[in-house]
């Protein structure tokens, strides 16, 4: 790669991405890249993205670069070797992610592409099968939700914040494209050309995301996550669900791999250090010498009671009450960190232990981050006490409320989020008395 320093190489990467952003020629950018580099570490790409954000480029703008720069860097990224091969074992989150991507690729290339060829030749009897295949694309939501809820959470805790922000924005764009594609292929008055044009863009975006997941995100996370981190991610994955595949077997790291991990610890600590240097806004209290695992709630209750102004409850009673309250509750403290969620039987949105300790704005898609931040800012300033929203989601009518929580001295303690599926309530009519 010549004698150029890492700083010089990063400057060149930023320059190339800037050229693309300004509408420069893709071929010119690729030529510049190939002239300057015969390979580049994925961490440098991440660092370049962070540099663009630092210099004022909105994360949503970086999304526009993603497809192009992934293609520029494709084939130019150094292969990263890991002493730990656990990620190749069934049940490991990386193995599961890649397996889902394989089935997804087959759905696109073998099924949808094949059906479109038939329909282009006038065989419209395959339209219904195409509708089902496009609806199957919607399973991607669970694949992306596991990534956003679990993997992104750990990336943030290790200081890798820019890539999740960019990827989540692209995920949401793909979700919207799938919805639009679903509408295009349904109905009686369907035209082939709009379907074909929309599909080519959607397929390209999905394939680029597969590339970014497997060739950028996975090597990066394998460098810094511990085996215990991966075990927790594997466990929490069952709470969210899987796309295209049956539930994988539960996965645990082998004793041999745990022993190898101890040998590799100095390398991992160095990779965490690099990640910290690349990304701003890392919590000062974070320790690089400890595995970062979400706090687990203890199941050992000593029968102690909590005294409320209106009565007393045993801790066991209180915890189990939360399981039956028909509202999902999440509490965010005054520092905007998630510190509690209720574990109801039927949750509207997925929550796992990895959310504990996560900044609440990072739990939301990039397009809604600023709205969540505005509500929290208003709560802190005392200019607002309540916010409410209602949406239609997967056939449900969902009601979401935010409350500013203060103590008796009017000191701001945090924000309570209450989410409820009110479909049944809205459909109630007449009256039903206790004696009926």
- Candidates 132, 12, 117, 135; CA nearest to 72 is 12
Q: How far apart are CA 402 and CA 400, in angstroms?
A: 7
Q: Which is nearest to 399 in space by CA: 372, 422, 416? A: 422
Query: With the C-alpha atoms ordered 344, 345, 348, 354, is the resulting torsion angle positive or negative?
Result: positive
Residue 286 has a pLDDT of 31
User: Rounded distance, CA 15 to CA 12, Å?
Assistant: 5
Q: Which two tokens stand for residue 189?
A: 């008055």
Which pLDDT score is estimated for 235? 93
Mean pLDDT, consecutive 10-residue segments, the chain of 436 residues?
Answer: 61 72 69 68 60 60 53 51 62 92 91 92 90 93 94 87 81 93 85 91 92 86 90 93 90 86 84 64 34 47 72 78 84 86 74 74 76 90 91 85 90 90 87 79
pLDDT digits (tens, 9 = 90+) for 176-219: 999 999 999 987 778 888 899 999 999 999 998 998 898 878 88
Distance of alpha carbon 245 from alpha carbon 103, whole angstroms? 8
DSSP at 112: I
Compute the C-alpha angle 169/176/142, nearest 5°: 75
| pLDDT value of position 349 | 75
Rounded to the nearest angstrom, the gap between the alpha carbon of residue 270 and the centroid of all alpha carbons in its chain is: 25
Q: Among all chains, which residue has been given the structure tokens 């990224």?
A: 77
Tokens of 168: 């989540």
Task: Find the distance separating the first CA and the last CA of the chain, reported in whole Å.
Answer: 81
pLDDT of residue 162: 72
294 DSSP 8-state letter: P
The whole-number pLDDT of residue 372 equals 87
> Do residues 134 and 119 make contact, with C-beta atoms less than 8 angstroms apart?
no
Determine which helix (DSSP H) or strand (DSSP E) holds 229, and give its type and residue range. helix 227-240
Q: Cα–Cα distance between 121 and 127 in angstroms, integer?
A: 12
CA distances to 50, 164, 202, 205, 310 from 71, in Å: 19, 19, 16, 11, 62
- What are the φ and ψ backbone dihedral angles of 385, each rounded to 5 degrees? -115, -15
Chain center to CA of 387: 25
What is the number of other CB atoms lying within 10 angstroms of the CB of residue 278? Answer: 22
Determine the pLDDT at residue 291: 44
283: left (phi over 0), alpha (psi -120 to 50) or beta: beta
Q: pTM for the full model?
A: 0.64
What are the structural domains of the chain?
A: 6-73 (no CATH), 86-278 (1.20.120.520), 305-426 (3.30.450.20)
Strand (E) or helix (H) holding 206: helix 192-211
Token pair for 369: 């981050």
Q: How far apart are CA 180 and CA 195, in angstroms?
A: 10
Q: Where are the alpha helices (DSSP H) in 325-402?
A: 366-381
Cα separation, 169 vs 355, in Å, equals 19
Per-residue model confidence (pLDDT) at position 280: 44
Q: Residue 284 phi/psi, 5° resolution?
A: -65, -25
């Amino acid at each position: 790669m010549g004698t150029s320093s890492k700083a010089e190489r990063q400057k060149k990467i930023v320059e190339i991405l800037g050229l693309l952003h300004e509408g420069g020629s893709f071929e010119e950018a690729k030529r510049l890249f190939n002239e300057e580099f015969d390979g580049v570490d994925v961490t440098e790409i991440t660092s370049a993205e962070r540099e663009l954000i630092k210099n004022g480029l909105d994360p949503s703008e970086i999304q526009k670069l993603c497809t192009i720069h992934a293609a520029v860097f494709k084939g130019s990224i150094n292969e990263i070797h890991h002493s730990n091969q656990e990620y190749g074992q069934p049940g490991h989150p990386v193995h599961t992610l890649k397996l889902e991507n394989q089935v997804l690729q087959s759905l696109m290339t073998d099924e949808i592409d094949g059906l479109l060829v038939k329909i282009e030749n006038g065989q419209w009897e395959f339209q219904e099968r195409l509708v089902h295949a496009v609806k199957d694309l919607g399973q991607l939501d669970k694949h992306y939700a596991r990534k956003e809820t679990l993997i992104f959470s750990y990336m943030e805790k290790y200081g890798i914040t820019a890539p999740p922000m960019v990827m989540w924005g692209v995920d949401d764009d793909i979700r919207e494209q799938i919805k639009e594609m679903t509408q295009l292929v349904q109905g009686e008055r369907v035209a082939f050309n709009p379907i074909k044009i929309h599909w080519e863009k959607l397929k390209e975006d999905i394939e680029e995301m597969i590339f970014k997941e497997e060739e950028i995100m996975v090597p990066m996370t394998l460098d810094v996550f511990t085996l215990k981190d991966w075990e927790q991610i594997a466990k929490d994955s069952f709470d969210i669900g899987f796309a295209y595949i049956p539930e994988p077997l539960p996965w645990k790291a082998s004793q041999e791999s745990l022993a190898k991990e101890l040998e590799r610890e100095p390398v991992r600590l160095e990779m965490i250090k690099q990640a910290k240097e690349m990304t701003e806004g890392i919590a000062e209290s974070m320790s690089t010498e400890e595995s970062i695992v979400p706090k687990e709630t203890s199941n050992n209750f000593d029968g102690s009671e909590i005294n409320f102004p209106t009565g007393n409850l045993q801790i066991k009673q209180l915890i189990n009450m939360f399981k039956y309250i028909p509202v999902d509750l999440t509490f965010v403290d005054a520092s905007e960190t998630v510190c509690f969620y209720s574990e109801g039987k039927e949750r509207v949105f997925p929550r796992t232990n990895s959310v504990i300790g996560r900044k609440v704005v990072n739990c939301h898609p990039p397009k809604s981050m600023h709205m969540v931040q505005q509500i929290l800012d208003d709560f802190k300033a005392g200019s607002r006490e309540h916010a409410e929203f209602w949406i239609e989601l997967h056939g449900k009518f969902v009601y979401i409320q935010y409350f500013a929580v203060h103590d008796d001295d009017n000191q701001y303690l945090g924000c309570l989020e209450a989410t409820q599926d009110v479909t049944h309530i809205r459909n109630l009519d007449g009256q039903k008395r206790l004696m009926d």
